[in-house]
Each structure stands twice: as structure tokens, then as C-alpha cells.
Amino acid sequence: MESHLLDRHTNTTAHTASAGRSRNFASVLLEAGVSIKAVAEFLGHADPGFTLRTYTHLMSSSEDRMREAIEKAWSALEVP
């Protein structure tokens, strides 16, 4: 393989591996309930909206967490 092709392949492979690590970190952080803003800062994204658009599909349990938070809030308001 020519040198410039090898360099391009190496850079692409490194970028793919880096993207995989970012996705893994993002999924771990989001699953733990870390805010999008904090995840964006951790990943070096200037715009948390970009992070939200990119990783929103990893937030599958957010509906369950929301439901639990609402139930907890309502139960705290209940008078014995």
C-alpha cells in the first residue's frame, strides 16, 4: 500500500476507535443520569445540542427515570 494510503487508513482506524470510545463513555455517563451538558463538556463538544442529537438514542431508560421521578415527587406530596 502506498504511504499516503496507509496514513489515511491509519487515521481512519484511529478515528473510528476514538468514536467508539466516545460512544461508550457517553452511554455509561447517560445511563448513570449525567446531564447532557456535562457529557458534552467531557467529550469536548462546544454545543450540548450536538451531543443530544448524537447520543439521544442511548438514553433509552430516561422515560423510566422520568416516571420514577414523577412518582417520587407525587408520593412526597401525599398526606398520610
Please write the tens of the pLDDT for every residue from 46-66.
999 999 888 877 776 667 778
Distance CA 35, CA 48 (A): 10
Per the structure, the complete domain to which residue 23 belongs is given by 3-77
Report the domain count for the chain.
1
Q: What is the mean pLDDT of the chain?
A: 75
For residue 26, count CB atoms less than 10 angstroms from its CB and return exposed for 0-12, middle for 13-18, buried for 19 or more: buried
**Per-residue pLDDT at 16 exceeds 50:** no
Cβ pair 39, 55 in contact under 8 A: yes
What pLDDT score does 68 carry?
Answer: 87
What pLDDT score does 60 carry?
Answer: 63
What pLDDT score does 39 carry?
Answer: 92
**Per-residue pLDDT at 40 exceeds 90:** yes
Cβ pair 79, 50 in contact under 8 A: no
